[in-house]
Amino acid sequence: MAAEKPLVSVTCTAPTNIAVIKYWGKRDEKLILPINSSLSVTLHQNQLKTTTTAAISRDFKEDRIWLNGKEEDVGHHRLQSCLREIRRLARKRRSGSDGDLVPLSYKVHIASVNDFPTAAGLASSAAGYACLVYTLAQLYGVESELSEVARQGSGSACRSMFGGFVQWHMGERPDGKDSIAQQVAPESHWPELRVLVLVVSAERKPVSSTSGMQTSVETSSLLKTSGHTPILLPSVLALDSWIISENWLIALQFRAESVVPGRMAEMARCIKERDFEAFGQLTMKDSNQFHATCLDTFPPICYLNDTSRQIISLVHCFNAYYGKTKVAYTFDAGPNAVIFTLEETVDEFVAVIKQVFPPEMNGDKFLKGLPVEPVELSEEVKSALPMEPFPGGIRYIITTQVGPGPQVLEEPQRQLLGPDGLPKPVS
Ligand code: 2P0
């Protein structure tokens, strides 16, 4: 049987996602269990995706993996967790009868490529681990709770297992069985929603998310108080996340325990009702609180740079000019901005960006993704913009939209491994 089918392979793609309620901090490092729930938008794979091929053969001597063409250590514990979990689920599902299924004892070769800058704050680990887990699951015929497995590769990866709008429930159980992702609404739910990725820098980020959030949990009192003794503060410091108790406010574990639960419910409502005004405002506030937490970490972590801050000012100026929230920013663990807006505003806002950040690259090198029509800005809009032009501040823009979850690719030419089980040369 195996001699007739020396190599069995599957190729899949998976999306990246951008959180509008941010995940930052773990309660269990090994299982990757978060200290708060989070909610994200899955970005369309026509613009941003990871492609992964996984193959097994009786001729393979060991498990091997190539990322963006370079062989990496397959012994990495997160990778091992995903492989082990998928093989365990496959074993459980088969319960003795192998049938036509691929033998579990064979070694696997995996090749994976991203079509966007790795480690630039664009959640490449989310798409990467989602794609790995989905592809292995297809290979081994596993269908059960895959977000729980992807989570063990990278927290944000569990949200990339679904299209549309996705929440990751933090769960309560120590074994993580209830720390899973779930779709809030499908990709077709809000067809006018558009996403602009403003690529400010493609360099690697100075502090990885994994170590950054670890230091935040240890040191930031905005994120999580370390003791169980409530701090008492006078009521003049009234904030939306403080609880009134006999004219005193008791500070609870701030972001994770007091702020995020309410924001999760409010964000789900904004999405269900397609309320862009509230969606945009909450998205910006949650991004700002995440970055405030990073700055409150000791030593502080600064993911934003001068260009990021100029983009923030620009968004607020643009919205103030129109007297409503027409665009909203969010930033992950890097300086790149992700802008949410509606289809009707894309052309004008891109023209605004080009006015403030005159591109150093022209045409489709600066504007990638969905088509954007050039528009002439009125003098009134130009005079409302807050700053002097900053040439080259934004390297390029990727215009995209909400997209579906992982997909299987049927076309053999898109496989990343050749018949010998080694990566095909990059064309
Ligand atoms: C998020 N980020 O919710 C947040 C907001 C970055 C800022 O998830 O250690 O790469 O692999 O679980 O998933 C980045 O963290 O970290 C992240 P690990 P991950 O998207």
**Structure tokens of 58?**
């009786």
Q: At residue 96, does pLDDT exceed 60?
A: no
Q: With 90 as the cut, is the pLDDT of residue 229 above it? A: no
At residue 52, does pLDDT exceed 90? yes
Ligand 1 atom closest to residue 155's alpha carbon, by position in its atom list: 12
pLDDT at 80: 97
249/243 Cα distance (integer angstroms): 5
Q: Residue 214 phi/psi, 5° resolution? A: -65, -45
- The answer to whether the CB of 34 falls within 8 A of the CB of 170 is yes
Q: How many angstroms separate the alpha carbon of residue 344 from the centre of ligand 1? A: 31
**Which pLDDT value is given to residue 344?**
98
Give distance in angstroms: CA of 128 to centre of ligand 1: 13
Residue 55 has pLDDT above 60, yes or no: yes
Tell whether the model's pLDDT for residue 364 goes beyond 70: no
Using the atom order of ligand 1, give the atom closest to the CA of residue 21: 3
pLDDT for the residue 166: 98
Residue 249: what pLDDT?
32
The whole-angstrom separation of Cα 32 and Cα 81 is 11
So what's the pLDDT on residue 202? Answer: 55
Distance from residue 80's CA to the centre of ligand 1 (Å): 19
Write down the pLDDT at residue 237.
38
Task: For residue 102, report the distance from its CA to the centre of ligand 1, in Å.
Answer: 33
Number of C-beta neighbours around residue 101 at 10 A: 14
In angstroms, the CA 361 to CA 374 distance is: 15
Q: What would the pLDDT profile of 368-385 be if each residue is shown by its tens digit?
A: 999 999 999 999 999 988
Ligand 1 center to residue 3 CA distance, Å? 43
Q: Give me the CATH code for the 209-401 domain, please.
A: 3.30.70.890
* Ligand 1 binding pocket, CB closer than 6 Å: 19, 22-24, 32, 38, 123, 125, 154-156, 209-210, 290, 332-333
Domain residue spans of the chain: 2-186+409-414, 209-401
CA 131 to ligand 1 centroid distance, Å: 16
Residue 103's pLDDT is 84
Q: Residues 133-137: what's their mean pLDDT? A: 98
pLDDT of residue 203: 62
Tokens 């992982």 correspond to 406
Alpha carbon nearest to ligand 1 atom 15, residue: 209
CATH fold label, 2-186+409-414? Ribosomal Protein S5; domain 2 (3.30.230)
Q: Which atom of ligand 1 is nearest to the CA of 332?
A: 7
Residue 218 tokens, joined = 């240890």
What are the pLDDT digits (tens) for 273-325? 999 999 999 999 999 999 999 998 888 999 999 999 999 999 999 999 999 99
Return the pLDDT at 254.
78
2-186+409-414 matches 209-401 in fold: no
pLDDT tens readout for residues 204-216 = 556 788 888 888 8
- Which protein residue's CA is at the shortest distance from atom 11 of ligand 1? 154
Which H helix or E strand runs over 165? strand 165-168
